[in-house]
Amino acid sequence: RFIVYAQSLGGAIASRAVPDFGQQDQIDLLVLDSTFSSYKKAAGHFLGSFKSLANVFISDEYSSEMHIDRIKPKILVVHDKRDPIVNVRLGIHLYNLASPRADYWEYDKGRHIGVFAADTPQNRPRFVHYLDTVLQ
């Protein structure tokens, strides 16, 4: 199986790269772990009351939300609902844009890209089961 597993900024880059990949039809699954839908919105989260600066200085030309509709493989969006780096709303938005060809997993450990951390061992067999079920 060919699985592209990308985290955070890597997920945003993969979301833009996969549509241009010549063998996209050979990708079985794209996993977007703690990824954001928009560079502007992700930057705005950090800028707080200065988030309008993100609209001026940050481009969404290559953002996930602009290219997610061109992704053909199944997508799994994974996000911690208390992610301190990438707001969970950006992950949920990405999932909503990718539906119905996407699944969404949410967990609650208060961390960024921690779905397979030492204190979440239950997610490993869950992921293997997911692969067995979805990629038959």
pLDDT, tens digit, for every residue of 105-118?
999 999 999 888 88
What are the pLDDT digits (tens) for 7-20? Answer: 999 999 999 999 99
Confidence of residue 119 (pLDDT cuts 50, 70, 90): confident
Closest CA to 51 of 62, 40, 60: 40
Cβ atoms of residues 3 and 29 within 8 Å: yes
pLDDT score of 55 more than 90: no
Say how far apart CA 109 and CA 111 lie, in whole Å.
6
- Rounded CA gap, 19 and 32, in Å? 14
Q: Where residue 136 falls among pLDDT bands split at 50, 70, 90?
A: confident
Helix and strand numbers, DSSP H then E, in the chain: 6, 4
Q: What is the pLDDT of residue 36?
A: 95
